[in-house]
Structure 1
Amino acid sequence: MEEQFEVQPVIIAGLDKNDPSFAYSMEELANLIDANNMEVAETVTQKLDRPNAGTYFGKGKVEELKELVEATGVSLIVTNDELSPSQIRNIEAGTGASVIDRTGLILDIFANRAKSKEAKLQVAIARLQYQLPRLRTSMNVRMDQQTAGSGSGGFTNRGSGETKLEMDRRTIENSITHLKEELSVITKSEDTRRAQRDKSGIPTVALVGYTNAGKSTIMNGLVRMYGQGEDKTVFEKNMLFATLDTSVRQLTLPDQKQFLLSDTVGFVSKLPHNLVSAFRSTLAEAAKADLLLQVVDYSDPNYKDMMETTELTLKQIGVTDIPMIITFNKADLAQAPVAYPTREGDNIIISAREDDSLNALLAIIKEKVFKDYVTENLLIPFSDGQVVTYLNEHANINSTEYLEEGTLLNVELQSADAARFEKYVYSE
């Protein structure tokens, strides 16, 4: 039975700096609120060319927020942008409510969703880096259980002249250092596994895109069809950041072609810089891929903004010059009827819950990642039967004929294998 939590009401507040995407970003903030087991009680916005240096919002708007807090009894305000430590303190002083900015909210969501050791370490580092400039003498630094137990040593006697603020800062810095060391061990292990996969010569395809666009649904659909069983599917749910861990699955097609498919963490606009940096190792699957599938929620009217966010985030993590298929998903949920699966160049409109769509997507994947395949006639002497066994397992055998000299195969195989078995090429 799923555990039930009390939903916390919040006031969301945003500053419209003449940004054409402002309404969309506020809608997205409301979705993030929902993903964090909160609900929007009131929405407050203000138009300003630039933020107020001290209070972010204008003084009149801070007063309006104070009156709203008093009238509704809602004690938490969530802002649509990242605020400076002094801006947060000044709004709290002016309204009598607690304040969380967008960055803090996203970090909370990631902390609640992290499952693997790697993801937990990445989020812990990002949260501590976020806390560090926000320390103040009167605050007690709350250390997560995994951070407190990280071996950082806690407070040490460094002389009566050291203030509590300095000790708090030193404790957090030590914790960050220790957590990074732990993460580097895991990262090296992942790099080793990735290098082994690269050596295998199996092409890699990475799913990237906005959170909740349907990446995990596509992966699970293809795994069920061409993977190694239902136990290899990944968690999927209709919510933001359902999963933070990168999963890699090997798919074997009926013609024996194989590729690796990875599902990466989803993106969101204004993704905190510290979080992007912390998850750089996780997103390395995308950086090393032979092909990217950018999955887009075609049913969302803001899908073009989502595509811009995805492309910007990919640039931030250094993912450039990799071939990409734009996969417009959830066509079955689009407000206006649309035909699918429909392909236009390297773009395709699909519904990931339908096999016809997945096979249409797979056809484009095969064109891109198996373009180096060639078809050859190979005559394999009976004494080299291990070669026939290898080709049956790693290539697509179109026909088999037995001659006096050996086994004649018409086979589709990787160019590297074609070069390796060049001596068997048969021409009448």
Structure 2
Amino acid sequence: MARVTEPFDNDRGELELEERSSLRRVAGLSTELRDITEVEYRQLRLERVVLVGVWTEGTAEDAENSLTELKMLAETAGSEVLDALVQRRQKPDPATYIGRGKVEELRAAVEASGADTVICDGELAPSQLRNLEDRVNAKVVDRTALILDIFAQHAKSAEGKAQVELAQLQYQTQRLRGWGGNLSRQAGGRAAGGEGIGGRGPGETKLETDRRRIQARVAKLRRELAELRGTRDTKRANRQRHQIPSVAIAGYTNAGKSSLLNRLTKAGVLVEDALFATLDPTTRRTQTPDGRIYTLSDTVGFVRHLPHQLVEAFRSTLEEVADADLVVHVVDGSHVDPLGQIAAVREVFAEIGASKVPEIVAINKADVADPDTVKQIVAKEPHAVVVSARTGEGIDELLNAIESELPQPAVPVDVVLPYDRGDLLNQIHEHGEIDEVEHRGDGTHVSARVDADLAADLAPYAR
């Protein structure tokens, strides 16, 4: 088993000491192994962690990038990363993830560093979680649980909190047995501590009781989200009824989507240099230089191997992307692997049915990006614009690209509007594309292209 250093080096045994000392320490978050005794999902309270990855394909640089991203995720969750190990294997070991012969080395690394948690760069089966916890005597968390925990920390709205809790409960349901052998004990009558009535009678195990309670909570959350989704659908339907084009800002987490929305619309959205800082979508109205109104929506960031539970729970939110007329795909031009991030985001696009939505690639952070990396992205993404949300570089070019890609009104009209119908003239400005305007004695002569509904309203004034 080789340890990961920066840069990736199979021969060196430890992370650099200066890197260790530069990491922040989060006090008061120590953890311990314990059984689940209530239906609430197990809270992750990470503190001092060792990262573990299995390198099955790709290059050594790919393995390093994956562990580096896992380190960022762990630190976002409030952890101090003490060490990182990676093993070259054809596939993860089905029993212990890293192979039985290497578990002792991991245990030694945990003891030497004083870590209390191991984070694995993959999604582990319940048996793998149990086996690793038993053998290294530390809590074991996989990548999926880590991302779910970060989402739980950042959710602010009622819908965001419900979506995250639903995803966590769905994940935990199949893993209750993996966290504590005592869950198989029977519960019933007085022996159940009051769980006999409503516990489906004597003989039901504690595991079954917990699982049934989780299922009841999941059902309640689904009902709540259905109601919240109705509100979101109503707002979206209103925009569509008024023929307001929608543009979704999407991309990898921490690519600068919220900063770009602020630069484009002065929306005042929270901007934080952290993964998954935005979970609750923000929609703002703006307009093109010729007066056409459209909406810009900030969306939740994506990441490699985004947990399926999150995609399902956040489906109503992600539909902002699938239902958009245009997607501005924001890419962090300063990242070590921007093309890999583009591919990961497009995998999520495919999963939510957004693959065919027109797309503009906005290469953000141009002020700090390597020019050669930017050129490489532009060469592979011809429909790309280089921008910097921080300095304003390329913003006008991006706005022009958005304007040119917005749906064009399809119905030509040639009308003379009475001067008391300024409301219709205003609608043409907001929702149409004007070719000619002339003020005459009998009214305002307008030649334009508009949507079908507005064309019907203008029909009585046709020349």
Q: TM-score, normalised by structure 2?
A: 0.80
Match of 2:285 among 230, 246, 250: 250
**CA 1:382/1:265 → structure 2, altered by over 3 Å: closer, same or farther?**
closer
Query: Are the aligned partners of 2:252 and 2:330 in contact in 1 as well (CA < 8 Å)?
Result: yes
* Aligned twin of 2:57: 18
Distance 1:277 1:305, change over 3 A: same
Q: 2:313 aligns to what?
A: 278
Report SS of the residue matched to 1:28: helix
State whether residues 372 and 414 of structure 1, in contact with CA within 8 Å, keep that contact through their aligned partners in structure 2: yes
CA distance in 2, matches of 1:413, 1:129: 47
Provide the secondary structure at the position in 1 that maps to 2:271: coil
Counterpart AA for 1:93: D
How far off is 1:60 after superposition? 2.3
Aligned CA distance change for structure 1 residues 158 and 286 (closer, same or farther; 3 Å) = same
Letter paired with 2:48:
P
Cα pair distance change 1:56/1:14, threshold 3 Å: same
Contact 2:26 2:79 in 1 (8 A): no
Is residue 154–residue 171 contact of structure 1 (8 Å, CA) maintained in 2?
A: no
Q: Which amino acid aligns with 1:350?
A: V
Q: 1:254 offset after TM fit, Å?
A: 4.0
Q: Which residue does 2:389 correspond to in 1?
A: 352
Structure 2 counterpart of 1:219: 261
Q: Distance in 2 between matches of 1:392 and 1:23?
A: 53
**Rounded Cα–Cα distance in structure 2 between residues aligned with 1:73 and 1:370:** 58
- Whether the 8 Å contact between 1:255 and 1:395 is mirrored in structure 2 is no
Question: Within 5 A, what are the aligned runs for 1:222-233?
Answer: 222-224=264-266, 232-233=267-268
Equivalent pairs counted in the alignment come to: 403
| Corresponding residue number in structure 1 for 2:400 | 363
Match of 1:335 in 2: 370
Correspondence 1:262 to 2:301: no
Number of the residue aligned with 2:84: 43
Once the two structures are superposed, the pairs formed by residues 303-342 of structure 1 within 5 Å of their partners are 303-336=338-371
In structure 2, do the counterparts of structure 1 residues 118 and 155 end up closer, same or farther at CA, with 3 Å as the change threshold? farther
Contact between 1:155 and 1:167, CA under 8 Å: does it hold in 2? no
Post-superposition offset of 1:109: 0.5
Distance 1:154 1:375 in 2: 73
> Structure 1 regions of 5+ residues with no counterpart?
142-152, 225-231
Matches of 1:238 and 1:140, distance apart in 2: 40
Work out the CA distance in 1 between the residues paired with 2:317 and 2:430. 31
2:265 equivalent to 1:207:
no
- Tell me if the contact between 1:210 and 1:267 (Cα under 8 Å) persists in the aligned partners: yes
Contact kept in structure 1, 2:167 and 2:309, CA below 8 Å: yes
Q: Post-superposition shift, 1:213?
A: 0.6
Question: Counterparts in 2 of 1:287-298, with a 5 A limit?
Answer: 287-298=322-333
In the TM superposition, residue 248 of structure 1 has moved relative to its aligned partner by 1.0
**Aligned pair in 2 of structure 1 residues 398, 25: CA closer, same or farther (>3 Å)?**
same
Residue correspondence of structure 1 range 60-99 to structure 2 within 5 A: 60-99=101-140
Look up the match of 2:148.
Answer: 107
- Partner AA of 2:56 in structure 1: K
Deviations 1:64-118 (A, max 9, x none): 0111122222111100011111111111111111111111111110111111111
> Aligned in 2, Cα 1:64/1:402: closer, same or farther, shift over 3 Å?
closer
Deviation at 1:167, TM superposition (A): 0.7
Structure 1 contact 257–395 (Cα < 8 Å) conserved: yes
Residue in structure 2 matched with residue 33 of structure 1 by the alignment? 74
Q: CA deviation at 1:353?
A: 2.4
Q: What is the identity percentage for the equivalent residue pairs of Structure 1 and Structure 2?
A: 40
Report if the CA contact (8 A) 1:251-1:258 is conserved. Answer: yes
| Residue 174 of structure 2, aligned match among 105, 108, 133 | 133
After superposition, the Cα gap between the structure-2 partners of 1:419 and 1:322, relative to the gap in structure 1 and judged at 3 Å, is same
* Contact map agreement 2:367 2:391 (CA 8 A) in 1: no
User: 1:385: Cα distance to partner?
Assistant: 5.0
**Offset of 1:369 from its aligned partner?**
0.6
Gaps of 5+ in 2: 1-24, 30-46, 185-194
**Aligned CA distance change for structure 1 residues 403 and 335 (closer, same or farther; 3 Å):** closer
Distance 1:140 1:115 in 2: 33
Question: Match for 2:113: what amino acid?
Answer: T
Cα deviation, residue 5, structure 1: 4.5
Q: Secondary structure at the match of 1:333?
A: coil
